[in-house]
A and B are shown apart, each in its own frame.
Chain A
Amino acid sequence: MADDYIKKLWEIAPAITDAVPHSKKLGIRFVAIDKGRSTLSLPYNPDLIGDTETRVLHGGAVSTLLDQACGLAAVASFDIPKSCATLNLSIDYMRAAVPGQTIIATAECYKATKHIAFMRAIAYETDEEDPIAVAQATFMATQNTAAGNDAFKKDTA
């Protein structure tokens, strides 16, 4: 049943990502999803520069990518679709993102309770061992989504 949920998420996650106006504005793209895990990418976008002198992307764009990746992985950590809200987001910035390069963010849920998902995420260009930034976050499951209820009604009936 959980596998069906992940299969379904593979189908709908790209559309979910594209349907978020702020993700679209930044250019965030869906890459992959698995149980409690997600990968997103952010191609280099001059509109997100934090300092025109260095052309490095603003930390806020990186934290948004990490937040979004954590949120998607949190959704994928449950067995049925639930909306998730960020409670806390903590980010360490190790170094500047390399101008011109796409940033990848991978997120994982390392513990999910009934209501809270505890997340970790890493942002990097090519090497996960050489991160731009690392995030730790907690998400709260708010309510089961209407679409989720319909799709999974047969499971609970």
Chain B
Amino acid sequence: MDSAALKRTLARMPYAQSLGVKPTEIDGVFTLLMPYIESNIGNFSLPALHGGAISGFMEIAAISQLILSTDHASLPKPIGINVDYLRKGDLKPTFARAKIFKQGSRIANVHVRAWQEDYDDPIATMHGNYLLPKAE
């Protein structure tokens, strides 16, 4: 695991900074954190986080996991993603972990889980296919 590479990657991703995304570790496992910030709200009256902020956060988690498990200088490109929203995102810190189900030479399949207080009660899940940069 190359956490310096991940920090460099997030630093060149202004979108991740706009969402407030930070890398962290929980029980020794790499986890991405999106702290609660007001600009991530999608609905004031519920209130709830914006579904787009949650899916964007999970997309960053997928790319981060690919950066950690490959040594490419350029970033993987999303081909397609599918997000299931399981419950509303409360105005609380949100966590995400990604798992690579298959990594070929050109394509990777990644699954992501996002949760708030309870890992076993996720607020959203995502799976996506990514085009990997050509090996240098």
Contact = CB atoms under 8 A, between A and B. Distances in A.
B44 interface: yes
Contacts of B60: 58, 60
B14 A49 contact: yes
Interface in A36-52: 46-52
B18 A63 contact: no
Contacts of A71: 51
Interface string A89-107: 1111100100000000000
Nearest to B41: A21
Question: Which of B46, B78, B84 has its CB near the most chain A CB atoms (within 10 A)?
Answer: B78
B42 interface: yes
B44 A87 contact: no
A53 B13 CA distance: 9
Interface residues of A, number: 38
A65 interface: yes
Nearest to A47: B18
A89 B42 contact: no
A58 B51 contact: no
Interface of A: 19-26, 46-53, 57-61, 63-65, 67-68, 71, 83, 85-93, 96
